Copies of this chain bind each other. A is one copy, B any other.
Amino acid sequence: MHRFKIQSKDERTFFVTGEELHHLVKVLRLRPGDKIKAFDNTGAEWLGIIEFISEDMASCRIIAEGYPEVEAKTNVYIAMGLAKGEKMEWVIQKGTELGMAGFVPLRTSRSVVQLDHKKAENRVKRWQKIASEAVKQARRVVEPKIFPVADWAELPEIFPANMQWLLPYEEEKNTLFSNILQEFDSNYPIGILIGPEGGFTPEEVAKTKELLNARSVSLGPRILRTETAALAALVMVLAFFGELG
């Protein structure tokens, strides 16, 4: 069944508007009588029947309301150095399916990709769309937040002081992922720092420890591409806290 994000509803009706309406009418060609699901990022989900469609909205009578237990209780964020090609899109899409809470595109020393202010804004909009589509695919009810492209110094401003940061790092031979996770508290958010293709510089690694008190961990002896590392680390954190079955 198709799913839509909504901005407005009343007690017995929800309304599909804007781009979601366009998708409903022009792409999916849904009509009065069709059943759809809706969510609004509060954790609720509604089942409704389309009653009528105007130029501005599709009005849907609510048949059922629920609070599906589909969101991860542990809030895990990925902060990823700007990488080439479609790697960011890939991590955002699959990270959303897996259950991440949010994503920060990070300007790092070795990023080949440079984005001026306008490009960065457009890219973030596109990434938020990808996250929104993945939310529907995964049947989630809360969209992960895609943050504006950030510099290192902004991370302590964006996130609370109780954020627990992990730094998967190929130079780290000694510290087992699971050992570190045992020291983390899943009641507080967790952040995973992933470097661009060239990895982090030693200065950046030092900065993660200074600024963020990040714990560096090994992801094992095999060298992973940046996007593989991002997803592997995310899966390991979510699985450790029981969020993946």
Contact = CB atoms under 8 A, between A and B. Distances in A.
A145 interface: no
A220 B245 contact: yes
A160 interface: no
- Give the copy number: 2
B138 A222 contact: yes
Nearest to A245: B218
B236 A244 contact: yes
Contacts of A172: 245
A223 B138 contact: yes
Interface stretch (A40-48, A75-83, A225-233): A225-233
Interface stretch (A50-58, A94-102, A183-191, A204-212): A94-102
Interface residues of A, number: 39
Contacts of A94: 225, 227-228, 231
Interface string A63-94: 00000111010000000000000000000001
B244 A98 contact: no
Interface string A88-130: 0000001001110000000000000000000000000000000
B97 A225 contact: yes
A236 B138 CA distance: 19
B232 A217 contact: no
Q: Which 6 interchain pairs have the tightest Cβ spacing?
A: A218-B245, A220-B244, A138-B222, A235-B235, A220-B245, A70-B221
